[in-house]
């Protein structure tokens, strides 16, 4: 796991960019403290910060050159099947035992088609000196980031936005067009970002850059890998296949030359991962969880049950208010892109790294893939009420307005918005479900109709209509393409890499994803959330954990924002009000509504605005 950078001159000026890339490397030192390197040619400079995981020797130094010196690679991530691929490449004289050289050799041999062989999480760039061609690529699901910016005379790319800004080629300017989307969803969805003229390469994509022309292609789309024959599989076949695929995924992700462990929240997903790790290794698994004095927010009871059951080397991070307040500035400093979440990931990652662990496995992705969120049941319920589409939309809107006046809380207003949709169907329901601020609130902040211009539907991975996709799998695709990719994975990467900790996610192995998306709804969710996952591993995890009430990994934010963090929040709310990017006085009104316990303004409706202002200040962004 590492950080990569590059500046590619698109014009005829043959200036070397080594100084700029050195500055970019400095901005990424936290991602790779073990080694640093820069390569410069006439029109390009490439930079790398290394966190050594596999082959800890100097053979892993990057930028890495091919044997004939014609190709140069900088690479961030892990290729789990690199030994298998290496054995298939017969015409390359390998000099090292690194996965970096395998990626380079595979590209030399197969070009972009090499990506179809890779099982892992990665972003990388390869420079072809002879053709003067730059090739950049990102893993299928989007676990590892890759940002880029096209300027007048160059293209700049990096693992983090802050490194792009450090190049001094990218203006520090807020993307005002993306502001309504950030307010509504607590993030900005790929390919856009919160910074003007900075994009993120979409998951499952690659780009070729020749001269001043960039061509982007998609090499993987989950909906194009649906296997219709899986629909005819018996439940036993499906359960056996899921068990096999997830077990193999965990086993692959335990390959490491450094100490590894696992995040253990006490929920089903993380507990299953720990249980599988325990079956695979003969040594006690190192596990880490956050606990609280306030039992309403603490999952310590369940994480301890799992830890004792599997005899893990368990580490509790006991979080008190003072601990959190002390660490909050560091967590916010580590945020590469503003978000409504993240500090919890920062805290558990820092404690894990402090304990001497360099690689940690996470249960992220289990809810998205195995129908663990309430949206899956809601989508099914809405699908059964398609008769409502027989009611003219104007009548539905009128009823929605009447309902909104009497409804309490955010859920009431969301139901009102759903009733007003052009069509009551899953693809329209989903964007409403994931909203932090409602249309009315966004319009109040950024002007009339600004919320209506947000097109989350356009961000979805296009559904391949040539193949039948079960309803719950359709929702999973929405989750994978939006919330998971642009919030959960981004936060996990930036907060774990702040402590030079590599986080691996077995649930997001592309072979497992493709298979589970092909499974029928009846087998996936016959009665309760994640039924298929539970049935696939019966007896592995204690029933007390399997049948507990879902809680989620949350912090007592409401209490903290109204007390210990109140001054911090007020300062930033007042500061962002002065920037003039919102309608006058509305930000403060929103904050006051939160303080007055307005049921339609929870802590998550104001915190991401506080974070945005803090991020703008820290990064000197012009609004």
Active site residues: 2
Q: How does strand 260-263 pair with strand 286-292?
A: parallel
| H or E stretch covering 339 | none
Contacts of 326 (CB under 8 A, 6+ apart): none
Report the candidate in 306, 350, 299, 356 with the shortest Cα–Cα distance to residue 324. Answer: 350
| HSE (side-chain half, CA atoms, 13 Å) at 408 | 3
Count of beta carbons in the 10 Å neighbourhood of residue 456:
19
In the block, residue with structure tokens 């990017």: 581
| HSE (side-chain half, CA atoms, 13 Å) at 241 | 18
In the block, residue with structure tokens 């998971």: 484
Report the candidate in 426, 413, 417 with the shortest Cα–Cα distance to residue 602. Answer: 413
| H or E stretch covering 497 | helix 489-497
| H or E stretch covering 145 | none
Q: Which two three-digit tokens encode residue 13?
A: 């000026």
Contacts of 175 (CB under 8 A, 6+ apart): 188, 192, 193, 194, 195, 196, 197, 198
Give the span between the Cα atoms of 95 and 91, in whole angstroms. 13
Contacts of 467 (CB under 8 A, 6+ apart): 223, 224, 226, 228
Q: Strand order of the sheet with strand 35-40?
A: 35-40, 44-50, 2-9, 154-158, 147-150, 199-200
Q: Which two three-digit tokens encode residue 223?
A: 């909906």
Give the span between the Cα atoms of 99 and 56, in whole angstroms. 12
What's the Cα-to-Cα distance from 53 to each of 1, 30, 77, 423, rounded to whole Å? 7, 15, 10, 50
| HSE (side-chain half, CA atoms, 13 Å) at 345 | 28
For residue 602, which phi and psi values (nearest 5 degrees)?
-80, 175
């Amino acid at each position: 796991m590492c950080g990569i950078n590059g500046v590619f001159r698109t014009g005829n000026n043959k200036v070397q960019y080594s100084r700029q890339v050195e500055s970019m490397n400095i901005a990424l030192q936290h991602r790779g403290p073990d080694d640093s390197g820069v390569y410069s040619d006439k029109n390009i400079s490439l930079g790398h910060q290394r966190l050594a995981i596999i082959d800890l020797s100097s053979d892993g130094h990057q930028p890495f050159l091919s044997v004939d010196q014609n190709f140069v690679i900088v690479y961030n991530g892990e290729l789990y099947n690199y030994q298998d691929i290496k054995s298939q490449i017969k015409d390359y004289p390998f000099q090292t035992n690194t996965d970096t050289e395998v990626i380079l050799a595979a590209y030399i041999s197969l070009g972009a088609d090499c990506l179809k062989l890779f099982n892992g999480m990665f972003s990388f760039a390869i420079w072809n000196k002879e053709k003067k061609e730059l090739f950049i690529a990102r893993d299928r699901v989007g676990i590892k980031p890759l940002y880029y910016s096209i300027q007048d005379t160059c293209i700049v790319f990096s693992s983090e936005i802050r490194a792009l800004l450090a190049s001094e080629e990218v203006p520090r300017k807020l993307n005002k067009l993306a502001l309504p989307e950030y307010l509504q969803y607590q993030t900005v969805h790929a390919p856009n970002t919160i910074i003007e003229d900075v994009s993120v390469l979409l998951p499952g994509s690659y780009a070729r850059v020749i001269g001043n022309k960039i061509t982007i292609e998609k090499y993987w789309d989950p909906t194009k890998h649906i296997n219709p024959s899986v629909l005819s599989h018996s439940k036993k076949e499906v359960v056996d296949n899921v068990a096999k695929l997830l077990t193999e995924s965990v086993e692959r992700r335990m390959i490491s030359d450094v100490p590894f462990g696992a995040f253990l929240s006490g929920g089903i997903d993380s507990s299953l991962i720990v249980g599988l790790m325990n079956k695979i290794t003969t040594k006690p698994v190192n596990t880490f969880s956050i606990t609280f004095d306030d039992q309403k927010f603490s999952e310590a009871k369940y994480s301890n049950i799992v830890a004792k059951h599997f005899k893990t080397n368990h580490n509790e991070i006991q979080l008190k208010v003072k601990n959190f307040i002390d660490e909050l500035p560091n967590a916010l400093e580590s945020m590469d892109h503003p978000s409504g979440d993240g500090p919890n990931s920062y805290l558990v990652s820092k404690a894990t790294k402090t304990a001497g662990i360099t690689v940690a496995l996470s249960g992220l992705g289990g809810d998205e893939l195995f129908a663990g969120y309430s949206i899956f049941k809601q989508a099914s319920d809405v699908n059964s009420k398609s008769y409502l589409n027989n009611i003219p939309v104007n009548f539905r809107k009128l009823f929605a307005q009447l309902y909104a006046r009497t409804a309490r809380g955010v859920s009431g207003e969301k139901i009102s918005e759903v009733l007003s949709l052009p069509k009551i169907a899953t693809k329209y329901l989903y964007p409403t479900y994931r909203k932090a601020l409602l249309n009315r609130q966004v319009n109040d902040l950024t002007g009339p109709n600004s919320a209506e211009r947000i097109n989350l539907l356009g961000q979805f991975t296009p559904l391949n209509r040539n193949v039948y996709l079960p309803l719950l799998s359709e929702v999973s695709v929405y989750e994978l393409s939006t919330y998971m990719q642009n919030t959960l994975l981004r936060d996990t990467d930036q907060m774990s890499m702040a402590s030079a900790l590599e986080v691996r996610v077995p649930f997001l192995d592309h072979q497992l994803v493709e298979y589970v998306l092909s499974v029928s709804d009846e087998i996936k969710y016959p009665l309760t959330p994640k039924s298929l996952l539970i049935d696939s591993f019966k007896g592995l995890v204690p029933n007390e954990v399997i049948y507990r009430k879902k809680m989620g990994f949350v912090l007592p934010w409401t209490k903290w924002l109204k007390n210990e963090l109140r001054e911090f929040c007020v300062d930033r709310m007042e500061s962002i009000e002065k920037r003039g990017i919102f309608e006058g006085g509305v930000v403060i009104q929103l904050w006051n509504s939160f303080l007055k316990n307005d049921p339609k303004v929870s802590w998550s409706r104001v915190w991401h605005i506080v974070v945005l202002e803090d991020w703008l200040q820290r990064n000197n962004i012009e609004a």
